[in-house]
Structures are given as C-alpha cells and as structure tokens.
C-alpha cells in the first residue's frame, strides 16, 4: 500500500486544493459574475459533454489500464499503444461529420426551452472530444505508475482556468460569451499538454501491426464504452434534464449543491488514479491475496477520510448557504446530505469498481451501469415532478445505494472477498455519533465564524478518536511523522 498511499496523499492534496479553487468559483465567483442564466448555460454544456465523452473515447482509457501490464515485451506494448491511440477516431470523426451536417437541428432541439443555448451547441462536442483524449493519455501515464501530474491537469487545471477567466470577465477583459469560448480552448489545451507528458513518459515505436489480442481489446473497449456512457448518464443526466423542464438558472442552483455534496469523494478520486493500474496488475497476476488486501485497506482509508468530510460539509451547510448572494441557492441542504451520503457509500466500496472492470467478469459492469442509467433517468423524471431538485438527489442516492450493494455482492460471490473489517463498524459509529451530535445546532455568531468553530471541534474530536483507536495504520503512520502519538 506504500506507493498507493504516497501518491494518493499527494493526489488528495491536489484535489482538495482544486476543490478550494472550485469552491471559490462555484459558491462565490460564478453566481456573482456570470449570474444564474450564464452559469446555468456553462453547467448544461459541460454536463452534456460529460454524457457523450465516454462514447467518443470508445472505452480506450479503460483498455490501457487493463491490458498494458499483461504484455511482457516492449514490442507487444508498442503494438498495443500504436493501435489503441487511434481507436477514438473511428467514433469522433463520424460524430463530427454528423454534428456539422445536423448542427442547426441539434441546436434547435437543445434550445427549445432556453434559446440562449443554441449558439453554444458546438462546445458540447469539442469539449467531449478533448476530454476523451485527455482520459486516454492520462491512462497512458497511470500505467507507468505516474498519476500526480495528470491529476493536477485533471482536477486543478480547469478550475484554475475558470478562476482566471471569471476574473477576466469581472474586469471586462472578456464578455460572458467569450468566457465560454476561452473555457472550451482551455479543455483543448489541457488535452495537448497531457499528450506531450504521456509521450515524454513512454514513447512507443509506432507500428501498423496489431496486438495479438486485438479482438479481445476491441471487445473489452466496446463493453467499457457502453458501461461508461451509462455511468456518465448517472452522474450528469440530472443537470442536463433541468433546462428541458425549467429555467436554466435552476441547473446552476442544483449544481452548487451537488458540488458541495461531492467534496467528500476527493480521496476516492485521488486513490483511484493509482489503485486502478495496481489492481489490474494484481488481477493479471492472479494474486487474489493482494487484491483482498488492497480492497480492505482502500475501503477503510476512504471510508474514514470521506466520513470526516461528510461531517464537515453537512454540519456547516446551513450556515454556508446563508453566505450565498442569491436566495435561489438556499434550500439545498437535503440535496447536499443525499449526494454526500451517496458519495460516502461509494467511498466505502474502496477499489471495488477497479476490481470488477479489470477482472475476468468485467462484462457484468455493462448491465449494472445500464441498469443504473435507466433507473436514475426514470426516477429523475418521476421524483423531479414530486420533489423538485430534492427528488433528483433522492434518485441518485437510491440508485447508488442499490447498485453499489449489488457490486459488493458480485465481488464477494466471484472472489470471496469483502471490504468489511472490524474497523468498518467503528468508523460508522464515529460518523453517526458526531453527525447527530453536531448537525442540528449552530453557534449564535456570524455564519462564517459558526462554520470555522464547529468544523474545528468536529475535526479535532474525529482525529483524536481515529488515532486513539488506530482506525487506519496508514494515517497513523502519516501523522506520527509530524506528531508523536
């Protein structure tokens, strides 16, 4: 777990720095500078591009992680990379042609409820293509066990660019429409930087020869593109659906609550960058004992860390919304609670997804993800009519809880391993006690002071208990470098 924890720690710091910048953008700058309508446009465009990105990437990023470590010689690896790098073109080129031919019709359909969207329809496809190739080259470096720089680009780059561009709008260097165009360029530039770094880490000798398992690679990629597309629908379909039913401003209000609730998944995203290739390698070597060790340790550490941020976010959310300039953002406490609860349960699964996607039973991920996508779509339609944006969050929570439970059962039945340890119940008890102890009251000071005081108390109590009961040896070892415990 050494290389995993070391790179995960660095990646976590990067992601939380990115979340700080993203939080400033989302909570402070976006609402004040772009305001509700244009902010809603940006949310819709980026969410729509996320939905179609997996189709553009055609599952190549997953195939690199799964198969690269299975090749024994550099020649075989070069054949594999030479082939797979061009596969997304077989999807991207036809999509680009269709978009160019049907642009007017697509624009009219998307902008039916909100005409402002029509002028920016092309952004969806440009950003999707740029993100697809970014993910391909990011996987390229992850299999070299180098995830940190790519993580900077993935998590920090776009948020930093948004910050710079928002300030440019604030000081009248850019107009609001120009903000969208420059942001699109930032996504393209990020993909180019990632490509250069990937080639610097490993530059293959390009060849026209196909890898010996080419059919298996293509078959796996097709499974992953379908599964990935379904997964993207789960994550972003709610923000895409809102402009079709309500004013585009509501997408901005909902996006803020979802962003706040998603803060707790940062450790999982950080650890996942390095866990994916290591899990793939151990599975390729049939090292079930090491897979089980990674499974339990990743679950324990992610559950413990995400639990702390679950408490910090939810126990201060009422006061945080009081600081928002637009009253439309208030009232999202339930959305934050449900989204963060869903994310914490996902963190508890550890590297479960990496195990399934890189195992011999990877095909099960397709019906799971399709089931999630179909379920969340129909639940969104139904619950949005009943509960508004709270219904969208409830749909996400129900789907994630149900299908994550199925994933736990599948890995248990196939490999006879589980992430649950004696520490799992201790961590759950710690989270529950502090949640019910701090959620329902606040100090009678300024909201910002309330947040700082309450967060400090929760943080100190949580860390003391976690260290005292040795809930995570890795975290205890990290703390012992700075404090004698």
Check whether 107 has a pLDDT greater than 60.
no
Residue pLDDT, tens place only, 190-242 = 999 999 999 998 888 888 788 888 888 888 887 777 666 665 566 666 666 66
Whole-prediction pTM: 0.76
At residue 27, the pLDDT reads 75
When pLDDT is cut at 50, 70 and 90, the band that residue 39 belongs to is confident
At residue 429, the pLDDT reads 96
C-alpha to C-alpha distances, 455 to 60, 128, 334, nearest whole angstrom: 42, 38, 19
59 vs 269 pLDDT, higher one = 59
At residue 146, the pLDDT reads 77
Give domain limits for the chain: 2-480
At residue 286, the pLDDT reads 86
Comparing 25-34, 130-139, 177-186, the range with the smallest average pLDDT is 25-34
Angle ∠(81,9,53) on CA atoms, nearest 5:
40
Residue pLDDT, tens place only, 118-148 = 777 788 888 988 998 998 899 888 888 777 7
At residue 103, the pLDDT reads 46
Among 21-30, 32-41, 59-68, 170-179, name the most confident range. Answer: 170-179
Sign of CA dihedral 114, 119, 122, 124: negative
339: Cβ contacts below 8 Å, ≥ 6 apart = 257, 258, 261, 262, 393, 396, 397
């Amino acid at each position: 777990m050494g290389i995993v924890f070391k790179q995960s720690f660095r990646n976590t710091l990067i992601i939380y720095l990115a979340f700080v910048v993203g939080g400033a953008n989302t909570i402070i700058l976006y609402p004040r500078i772009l305001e509700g309508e244009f902010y809603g446009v940006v949310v819709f465009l980026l969410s729509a591009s996320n939905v179609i990105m997996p189709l553009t990437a055609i599952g190549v990023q997953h195939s690199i992680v799964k198969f690269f470590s299975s090749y024994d010689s550099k020649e075989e690896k070069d054949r594999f990379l030479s082939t797979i790098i061009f596969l997304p073109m077989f999807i991207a080129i036809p999509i680009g042609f269709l978009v160019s031919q049907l642009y007017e019709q697509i624009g009219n359909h998307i902008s039916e409820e909100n005409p402002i969207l029509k002028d920016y329809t092309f952004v969806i496809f440009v950003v999707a293509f740029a993100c697809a190739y970014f993910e391909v080259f990011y996987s390229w470096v992850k299999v070299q066990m180098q995830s940190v720089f790519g993580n900077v680009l993935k998590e920090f780059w776009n948020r930093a660019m948004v910050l710079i561009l928002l300030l440019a709008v604030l000081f009248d260097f850019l107009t609001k429409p120009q903000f969208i165009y420059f942001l699109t360029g930032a996504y393209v530039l990020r993909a180019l930087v990632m490509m250069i770094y990937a080639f610097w880490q490993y530059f293959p000798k390009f060849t026209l020869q196909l890898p010996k398992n080419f059919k298996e690679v293509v078959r796996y990629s097709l499974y992953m593109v379908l599964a990935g597309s379904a997964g993207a629908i789960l994550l972003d379909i709610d923000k895409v659906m809102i402009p079709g039913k309500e004013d585009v401003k509501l997408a901005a209000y909902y996006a803020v609550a979802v962003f706040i609730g998603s803060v707790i998944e940062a450790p999982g995203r950080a650890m996942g960058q390095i866990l994916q290739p290591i899990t793939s390698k151990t599975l390729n070597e049939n090292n079930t004992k090491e897979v089980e060790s990674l499974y339990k340790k990743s679950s324990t550490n992610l559950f413990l860390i995400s639990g702390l941020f679950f408490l910090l976010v939810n126990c201060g959310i009422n006061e945080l919304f009081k600081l928002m300039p637009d009253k439309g953002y208030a009232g999202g406490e339930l959305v934050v609670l449900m989204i963060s609860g869903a994310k914490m349960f996902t963190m508890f699964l550890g590297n479960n997804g990496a195990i399934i996607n890189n195992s011999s039973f990877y095909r099960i991920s397709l019906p799971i993800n399709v089931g999630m996508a179909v379920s969340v779509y129909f639940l969104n339609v139904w619950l949005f009519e009943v509960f508004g944006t709270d219904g969208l969050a409830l749909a996400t929570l129900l789907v994630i809880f149900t299908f994550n439970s199925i994933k736990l059962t599948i890995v248990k039945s196939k490999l006879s391993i589980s992430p649950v340890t004696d520490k799992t119940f201790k961590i759950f008890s710690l989270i529950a006690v502090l949640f019910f102890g701090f959620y329902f009251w606040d100090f009678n000071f300024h909201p910002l002071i309330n947040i700082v005081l309450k967060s400090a108390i929760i943080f100190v109590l949580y860390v003391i208990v976690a260290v005292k009961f040795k809930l995570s040896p890795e975290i205890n070892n990290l703390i012992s470098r700075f404090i004698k415990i």
